[in-house]
Structure 1
Amino acid sequence: MDYRPLADEIRPTTLEEVVGQRHILGENGLLRRIIEGGTIPNLIFYGPSGTGKTTVANIIARRTNRPLHRLNATTASISDIKDIMAGIGTLLAPDGVLLYLDEIQYFNKKQQQSLLEFMENGKITLIASTTENPYFYVYNAVLSRSTVFEFKPLTAEDVEPAVRRGLDCLSRRTGEAALWEEGVVSHIAAACGGDVRKAMNALELLWSGARRTAEGRRITLEDAKLAAQRSAMRYDREGDDHYDILSALQKSIRGSDPDAALHYLARLLVAGDLVSACRRIMVTACEDVGLAYPQAISIVKACVDAANMVGLPEARIPLADAVILLATAPKSNAGEAAIDAAMADVKAGRTGDYPRHLQNKHADSAGQEREQGYLYPHNFPHHWVKQQYLPDALVGRTYYHYGENKTEQAAKRYWEEIKDKR
């Protein structure tokens, strides 16, 4: 008998059997009502792998009695779609077909636009799936003709029934009873990271290595932990997860929540992405702590250097120190706001000539030297003297506004006292 993956063998055939996705497939879920209504629009399913997107497409095909053609955008071309079109109207597909296009984000703009002519005449109903945000990766013309449904990651509680079905299926397949220690099912369900396919792969691995006894195959919790280790990580250095974790790390530090910041740092480090973690922590030190605690930048730089020197797993220690320091430090984005305002003026053409007394006097041609009029601040009390520094067109422009933290307010008082006296 040909081998059939367990994930495919236990694939649900009804909406009631689909795990999770109650927000769209529950009793009053919109997608459920659309499917039960029988008139299927063009659909885009967006969400992590292993959450039921292909399963629901199969159920739709059975409900509507229309042939389902599957293509993967990583290998398919428009000619493949044209081949499908050639069969429409024949006895094989008198009422059109459903086209399930997986990973639509890998179709370029021209390929996605070519889909439109097939979508317009109604002979092809497109069900596209993507693990990336469709509003970033699917072109507007396709989006405007489709309804987007988000498939959310499954919880461990959602996955447990699928794990039990998988064990029952393996038992029937081999004619041996499935015997598992307490905690095996819940551990696999939790460790798969909301991906039923990962859970089924772990089960097949466990089953093939399970100890055979007179009563059946025995699966231990220790073996389950080995088979499912690290599989809970959802992380793609080129995908949305990469940027979402980095964003969550920085926002947690900015929000002064060290526990959340450590969680997202841990996810990066477990995935082995030391480079991205170091870069984002360094940026956060400058952007979100900055002038409120200027020493943090040099301290974090030392932590980052230490992490890169020792590598993982030891790198986790200096990076944890850096994250906790930043999360518990006072915050200021005054520096970032100031440079952004200055760059906005420059980009808008608000510049003007340098004041004469700021120009490089050595640039004057020999014999054409001019009086510069520059006042050297170190020759004056408190090393400050009033003179114009901004171009004439920008005199009076203020970019930097002191933050409310202790460090910047101390600097503000210092300079106000000196400048007011003059």
Structure 2
Amino acid sequence: MNPAITPLAERMRPRNLDNVIGQQKLIGPKGPLRRAVESNRLPSMIFWGPPGVGKTTLAQLVAEGTKRPFVSLSAISAGVKDIRDVLNRPSGLFPPVVFIDEIHRFNKGQQDALLGAVEKGQITLIGATTENPSFEVNSALLSRCQVYILESLGRDELVQLVNRALEQDTYLSQKKIRMESYDALLRLSGGDGRKLLNLLELVATSHVSADELVITDDLVTEVAQQNIARYDKSGEQHYDIISAFIKSLRGSDPNAALYWMARMINAGEDPEFIARRMLILASEDIGNANPTALIMAQNAMQAVRMIGYPESRIILSQVAVYLATSSKSNASYVAINEAMALAEKTSHLPVPLHLRNAPTKLMKQIGYGDNYQYAHDFAGNFVQQNFMPEELKGHKLYEPGQNAREAEIRKNLQKWWGEWYEY
């Protein structure tokens, strides 16, 4: 490889599983991917994880480790014809590994074109996605694939990437480079290994005449600011821009929200991605302060699927303004997180007898359902009865937010449960 034209991240791509940094749950001695390679029994699979954690690398190494042909397609540019061309190629002893980057961008027709080949074993599909495959991959195709979640690289792993590049890369190892601090490199790359290495190379080549280059946080920040990459859907500012958009909505600033949305629209971002993130925000950050927000966001999601660009920008704009200017509450979001943490710690607690179902005579005889009070039989359709395990009676999880609608909810809870839950 010519270092003058080949990016550092590509030059440092691992050549075998032992050289991969991170993802040890998958490729460690007992990891499922390593076992699959060693046994030469590859299922079709989906790699789900953030950018720069090794999805493409693992796909290539899995194919090489099992001596199978490797075909790579990008869902951004490939169509049904490209898929059929791959399927019509003659294969050897083992079916080829067909790697599809950003498989979540394939529409239903493109995914359906893969389904038959996967079912018949003509190919071993490996799809890579940064989006939840439950939402983005057809259920029929997803059911035939093993989903592997790739984790973000930790600080120690990212530092190891930098040090390996400085020691082993043909170009960088010839330069006198000393790391004074890694903080800015790690912060600006956001856990993306590819972005980290390319930023390192950018800094290392910015002072070609220096006898020794000392990489400091100030130097990294200066070089990065001079070479800000424009937004692109494959990674560089994708997560920064969507983060700014969501934070603007949460912060009730419709002007900033529209600006960041326009940046995404101009870059050709998938309108469903924008709509889906607003749908999540409508529940997480608005919730019961304005339940209509969730309905608006859900309808927007359906509408953009039918319409697409350019007209869907109007719908996205309307809903973004509505969400930004709506009352906010994360009370339900906080409550479910606390409830899940509590449930994990107390999963041994039994369901009280009066809450248990009693479909058989024996269950009724031993007290299942005894003393249960049916709320609709009481005035106001309310009965004050313990619905928690006895050990958790009075343990409050939901705290209404500070907004008009939840203030009314708080009044009702005080009337119904004030003695037990201290509302």
Q: TM-score range by the shorter chain?
A: 0.5 to 0.7
Whichever residue aligns with residue 188 of structure 1, its letter is: L
Residue 207 of structure 1: aligned partner: 204
Distance 1:175 1:162, change over 3 A: closer
Bigger radius of gyration among the two: 1
1:246 deviation in Å? 4.1
Q: Is 1:53–1:129's contact at 8 Å kept on the other side of the alignment? A: yes
Which of 46, 58, 61 matches 1:59? 61
Distance 1:286 1:43, change over 3 A: closer
Distance 2:71 2:400 in 1: 57
Residue 265 of structure 2: aligned partner: none
Residue 285 of structure 1: aligned partner: 328
User: Which secondary structure state, in structure 2, belongs to the residue aligned with residue 199 of structure 1?
Assistant: helix
Distance 2:112 2:82 in 1: 15
Residue 417 of structure 1: aligned partner: none
1:16 aligns with 2:15: no
- CA deviations 1:312-344 (Å, max 9, x no partner) are xxxxxxxxxxxxxxxxx9636883799xxxxxx
User: Which secondary structure state, in structure 1, belongs to the residue aligned with residue 177 of structure 2?
Assistant: strand
Residue 187 of structure 1: aligned partner: 184
1:217 deviation in Å? 4.0
Distance 1:225 1:277, change over 3 A: farther
- CA deviations 1:119-141 (Å, max 9, x no partner) are 12212110011111000010011
Whichever residue aligns with residue 193 of structure 2, its letter is: V
Q: Is 1:189–1:199's contact at 8 Å kept on the other side of the alignment? A: yes
Residue 403 of structure 1: aligned partner: 412
Q: Is 1:100–1:127's contact at 8 Å kept on the other side of the alignment? A: yes
Distance 1:195 1:106 in 2: 21
Moved more, 221-230 or 14-23: 221-230
1:113 aligns with 2:112: yes
Residue 134 of structure 2: aligned partner: 135
1:248 deviation in Å? 9.7
User: Which secondary structure state, in structure 2, belongs to the residue aligned with residue 95 of structure 1?
Assistant: coil
1:234 aligns with 2:231: no
User: Which secondary structure state, in structure 2, belongs to the residue aligned with residue 50 of structure 1?
Assistant: coil
Which of 202, 215, 221 matches 1:219? 215
What are the equivalent positions in structure 2 for 1:248-327 lying under 5 Å apart? Answer: 250=285, 282-285=325-328
Distance 1:276 1:226 in 2: 38
Whichever residue aligns with residue 136 of structure 1, its letter is: F
User: Which secondary structure state, in structure 1, belongs to the residue aligned with residue 326 of structure 2?
Assistant: helix
Distance 1:155 1:234 in 2: 18
1:335 aligns with 2:335: no
- CA deviations 1:128-167 (Å, max 9, x no partner) are 1111100001001101110001112222222111111222
1:250 deviation in Å? 2.6
1:14 deviation in Å? 2.0
Distance 1:198 1:53 in 2: 14
Distance 2:49 2:150 in 1: 5
Distance 2:320 2:284 in 1: 9
User: Which secondary structure state, in structure 2, belongs to the residue aligned with residue 149 of structure 1?
Assistant: strand
Q: Is 1:38–1:64's contact at 8 Å kept on the other side of the alignment? A: yes
User: Which secondary structure state, in structure 1, belongs to the residue aligned with residue 126 of structure 2?
Assistant: strand
Residue 161 of structure 2: aligned partner: 162
Residue 125 of structure 2: aligned partner: 126
- CA deviations 1:188-240 (Å, max 9, x no partner) are 134311101110110121122025334x4443432112345697983453648
Whichever residue aligns with residue 155 of structure 1, its letter is: G
Q: Is 1:44–1:146's contact at 8 Å kept on the other side of the alignment? A: yes
Residue 420 of structure 1: aligned partner: none
Q: Is 1:88–1:95's contact at 8 Å kept on the other side of the alignment? A: no
Whichever residue aligns with residue 250 of structure 1, its letter is: D
Q: Is 1:210–1:218's contact at 8 Å kept on the other side of the alignment? A: no
1:277 deviation in Å? 9.4
- CA deviations 1:245-299 (Å, max 9, x no partner) are 8479739999xxxxxxxxxxxxxxxxxxxx999865653437859xxxxxxxxxx
- CA deviations 1:40-84 (Å, max 9, x no partner) are 000001111111100100110111111100000111012212222
What is the percent sequence identity of the aligned residues? 32
Distance 2:277 2:224 in 1: 22
User: Which secondary structure state, in structure 2, belongs to the residue aligned with residue 285 of structure 1?
Assistant: coil
Whichever residue aligns with residue 212 of structure 1, its letter is: S
Where structure 2 has 5 or more consecutive residues not aligned to the other structure, the ranges are 229-235, 243-269, 290-317, 333-398, 419-423
1:31 aligns with 2:33: yes
Residue 96 of structure 1: aligned partner: 95
Distance 1:114 1:332, change over 3 A: same
